[in-house]
Amino acid sequence: MQEMNTTLLTPSHWKDYALVDSGGFEKLERFGPYLVARPEPQAIWNKSLPDSEWESRADAYFHKDKRGEERGEWTCKPRMRQQWFVNYANGGMRLRMRLGLTSFKHVGLFPEQAENWDFIFKQAGRIGAGCKVLNLFAYTGGASLAAKSAGADVTHVDSVKPVVTWARENMEASGLDGIRWIVEDALKFTRREVKRGNLYDGIVLDPPAYGRGANGEKWVLEENINELLSLCARLLRRNRSFLVLNLYSMGLSALLAKSAVRQLFGQCSGEQFGELYFDDSFGKTLPLGVYYRLWRD
């Protein structure tokens, strides 16, 4: 097996996204024609631009609730739209996704995940006709669209019905169809899939640090991730397959992800693990999550 050291990855094919500045626990980003300012707990350094320029340049600025909750409100310039689209293209993959301003600071897209979309598209294409991909905690569907663009049979699982509806809109905007939509708790779904004896050629896991299932099921990453990985190890085919795992909890490392996966999944043909990041326009490197990927020939 080809061993790899910790690898830092940043997407190189974005035209509709850029990290303009970061610092003061915030980031200033360009999504298509709009500049958006929102919280970023990992941006512990100083901003390169003055606060006054952030205020004047940002079309939408997220302000946290003063009570310290995760929710907040957006202050928008008149030209700012509540919903708009961005495009992502690499090779034969052409994705179009709707964005929107939510009360949790999110806009419907994690742009650093484009690096994983490229990997998923390549791996699904390598496996070829009949490739079955399971996307868990699938959010608005970037990974689902990448797999579908390569011709895969995709099952998209998320516990939030409006988010699944959003993902369906992205599928239609991208000119794709045929994704299987499941509104359910990811852990419950994988338990049943194991009982059914189903197998997948590719599995994508993007679990949050904390969350609630469709029926109020509690998800705590550190408490539940080992069981979920154990189930996925039984669902993933032993050859001609791949896995992508993302971790956003600040206390978890890429080496931890590697150890957790390899103990359960065993040998593979190759693996990568490390951090996803963007450099802002002033050269400051902002880490945006831990990833682990493996593939089997």
What CATH number is associated with residue 214?
3.40.50.150
| Within-domain flag for 26 | no
| Within-domain flag for 276 | yes
Total number of domains in the chain: 1
Contacts of 283 (CB under 8 A, 6+ apart): none
First-residue to last-residue Cα distance in the chain: 10
| Within-domain flag for 50 | no
| Within-domain flag for 144 | yes
In this prediction, residue 249 carries a pLDDT of: 65
| Within-domain flag for 52 | no
| Within-domain flag for 152 | yes
| Within-domain flag for 129 | yes
- β-strand pairing of 93-100 with 83-90: antiparallel
In this prediction, residue 158 carries a pLDDT of: 96
Q: Give the largest CA-CA distance in the chain.
A: 58
| Within-domain flag for 66 | no
> Mean pLDDT per 10-residue run, the chain (297 residues)?
73 98 98 98 97 98 80 96 97 97 95 98 97 98 98 97 98 98 96 98 91 76 91 97 88 88 94 96 96 97
Domain extent for 207:
7-11+109-296
Host H or E run for residue 37: strand 34-39
In this prediction, residue 67 carries a pLDDT of: 67
